[in-house]
Amino acid sequence: MKTPWWKEAVVYQIYPRSFMDSNGDGIGDLNGITGKLDYLKKLGINVIWMSPVYQSPNDDNGYDISDYQAIMKEFGTMEDFDRLLTEAHNRGIRIVMDLVVNHTSDEHTWFVESRKSRENEYSDYYIWRDGKPDGSAPNNWGSCFGGSAWQYDSERGQYYLHLFSKKQPDLNWDNPKVRKEVFDMMTWWCEKGIDGFRMDVISMISKTKEMPDGEVENGLYGSFGPYCIHGPNVHKYLREMNETVLSRYDLMTVGETSGVTPEQACLYAGETTNELNMVFQFEHVDIAGRFGKWNDQKMPLTRLKEILSKWQTQLSGKAWNSLYWDNHDQPRAVSRFGDDRPEFRVMSAKMLATCLHMMQGTPYIYQGEELGMTNYPFESPKDFRDIESIHAYEEWCESGRVPHETFWPCITAVSRDNARTPIQWDDSPNAGFTKGTPWIQVNPNYKEINAKAELADPDSVFYYYQKLIALRKQYPVIVHGTYRLLLADSEELFAYTREYQGEKLLVVCSFVDHKVSYELPEEFKNKELLIGNRENSYGTEVMELSPYEAFVLRAV
Ligand code: GLC
Ligand code: CA
């Protein structure tokens, strides 16, 4: 059987607002992306996933859509989009759209109509409930962005459910009219020639009919998880979507499925289940602590290896992995999993890239990761632009629950704004991102870390990614090889092998800032070096690995 293209692909995620501003209004846009296609072509990626570019009042930067078939004004026009699609295709780059259909904006006409009364064409498009007899919310669920998950609407005299902000009401997928609207809209985009969908919080589209109080985790609100995540009809609706839309086009689909286990992933993205191609799992980036997701702890390496190895082995032959260290909702990879101190940044960024890109699955590069961009040095809550960070600070600190000094390191370590500072293109003002005033601060380290400098340096993180991507195209063992973890108990080294049709790779990555000695397995002594972030000898003697050293050897 021929391997589907998305199994051999390397995806680059663009957060359009922060990528490149072409007209000086301080906001990244579609023409900005089109102007950088040659840069991406040079990197070697063959798919772009764009975070939402649809019309939106931007309560959650485009994840609150008011018109699915129009382009956000700040980002340009539909003609700009069509040109981007054509120019990308001309370069052999496919475009995957973000599909946000768990919820819409409260400014979408469906919701504007729905809230008017209990009996109208759209009244059942969203999830409406009466309050309790005392007038309070139907249950104790908290939303992901703080506060109750219910908002009272005086026009209609009922509460609506919003798992995210109150400007993001949840659609009622149990209504067949809603599913038809969504599928028609998806078909419209497919007819335009787009190449796939990344499906936002798709594991939350089906809710239980009964909506009891949830377990209270952090003292304020109850969890909606058991009633809204992987709900009763989610697989039925995805199969319906697949039959009605997806199966009729040559697409790549990836579902954002927080809380997913490998068993569930085999349903969402099984080779034979006819739903999606891949899912994003979150186990390796979820390190909940005292303040929920707000946590500055590093995951022990043994735990990280255990999680990623479980996904490698348990999906093998049954479903396909998506590989990522970061995205627009996560801190920068090199700051979280590597070491962003100047003396270690480049080595550890290359090490992380090696570790991820040699695994089985489709790798995703988040914009700026290929430059080794770092977290932002936040100074005050005023620096936040992200609705989640702003509300979290209010709910945990301004409320007086936790002192600022205790909470500050935790929120700055994982704030989504770390990923959303503009791409550092060069060392000119605003890192060359805009000629105007950027909508969010530029990381002050742009004079040292920027694309122009890296393109001029053959030893840069950029060219290391370029080489990894090229290797994946050249060696089928990187795409198909069977994974086996070595040294499971080491807190210093992440080492594994890949094996396919008599060809074998050894991948060794040091996750620590000190030297480590290491002896190669017999079968890899004096074998071919495919890639490494430092010179070393790969012979019979015990090796001394430098901080964050990484290499890949190939034996045939
Ligand atoms: C997903 C998106 C995130 C967004 C949320 C609500 O998790 O990745 O950015 O805020 O869904 O749409
Ligand atoms: Ca602009």
Q: For position 80, what pLDDT does the model report? A: 98
CA of 292 to the centre of ligand 2 (A): 35
pLDDT tens digits along 364-399: 999 999 999 999 999 999 999 999 999 999 999 999
Report how far residue 39's alpha carbon sits from residue 330's, in angstroms, rounded to the nearest whole number: 24
The distance of Cα 311 from the centroid of its chain, to the nearest Å, equals 17
Report how far residue 236's alpha carbon sits from residue 131's, in angstroms, rounded to the nearest whole number: 30
User: What is the CB neighbour count within 10 angstroms for residue 364?
Assistant: 25
Q: Give the torsion sign (CA, 425, 427, 433, 438).
A: positive
Report how far residue 431's alpha carbon sits from residue 28's, in angstroms, rounded to the nearest whole number: 13
CA nearest 450: which of 462, 464, 458? 462
Q: Is 200 an active-site residue?
A: yes
For ligand 1, atom 5: residue with the closest CA: 63
- Mean pLDDT of all residues belonging to the chain: 97
Name the 3-class secondary structure at 337.
coil
Percent helix, strand, coil in the chain, to 5, is 35, 20, 50
Taking the CA of residue 388 as reference, the ligand 1 atom at the shortest distance is 10
Q: For position 197, what pLDDT does the model report? A: 98
DSSP state of 126: B
Q: Which position has the token pair 């956000």?
A: 72
Q: For position 60, what pLDDT does the model report? A: 98
Report how far residue 491's alpha carbon sits from residue 134's, in angstroms, rounded to the nearest whole number: 55
DSSP states of 501-523 as a string? Answer: TTEEEEEEEE-SSS-EEE---GG
Residue numbers of the chain with a pLDDT score lower than 50: none
Contact 240, 253 (CB under 8 A): no
- What six digits make up the tokens of 350? 């290359």
CA of 63 to the centre of ligand 1 (A): 6
DSSP state of 324: -
Q: Is the pTM of this model over 0.95?
A: yes
CA nearest 151: which of 160, 142, 143? 160
Ligand 2 ion local residues (Cβ < 5 A): 21, 23, 25, 27, 29
Where helices occur in 14-146 by DSSP H, the ranges are: 30-35, 37-43, 78-90, 109-114
Q: For position 172, what pLDDT does the model report? A: 98
Q: For position 159, what pLDDT does the model report? A: 98
Inter-CA distances, 475 with 7, 255, 457, 502, 523, Å: 13, 27, 26, 12, 19
Q: For position 288, what pLDDT does the model report? A: 82
Pocket of ligand 1, beta carbon within 6 A:
60, 63, 100, 164, 200-201, 256, 328-329
Among 80, 106, 170, 256, which one carries the catalytic annotation?
256
Cα angle: 270, vertex 276, 280; to 5 degrees: 90
Contact 257, 322 (CB under 8 A): no
Report how far residue 185's alpha carbon sits from residue 201's, in angstroms, rounded to the nearest whole number: 18
Contact 281, 260 (CB under 8 A): yes
Contact 365, 10 (CB under 8 A): yes
Name the 3-class secondary structure at 241.
helix
- What six digits make up the tokens of 399? 């409320």
**How many separate helices (H) and strands (E) can be counted in the chain?**
16, 20
Where helices occur in 319-455 by DSSP H, the ranges are: 333-336, 345-357, 387-393, 404-414, 451-455
Report how far residue 241's alpha carbon sits from residue 186's, in angstroms, rounded to the nearest whole number: 9
Ligand 1 site-directed mutation target among 63, 199, 386, most atoms within 8 Å of CB? 63
- Residues in contact with 115: Cβ distance below 8 Å, sequence separation at least 6, in sequence order: 106, 153, 155, 156, 160
Q: For position 287, what pLDDT does the model report? A: 85
Burial class (CB in 10 A: 0-12, 13-18, 19+), 248: exposed
Q: Which position has the token pair 């501003």?
A: 21
Name the 3-class secondary structure at 313.
helix
Q: For position 289, what pLDDT does the model report? A: 83
Closest ligand, as measured to the CA of 436? 2
Q: For position 393, what pLDDT does the model report? A: 97
For ligand 1, atom 12: residue with the closest CA: 63
pLDDT tens digits along 33-54: 999 999 999 999 999 999 999 9
CA of 328 to the centre of ligand 2 (A): 19
- What six digits make up the tokens of 414? 């994982």
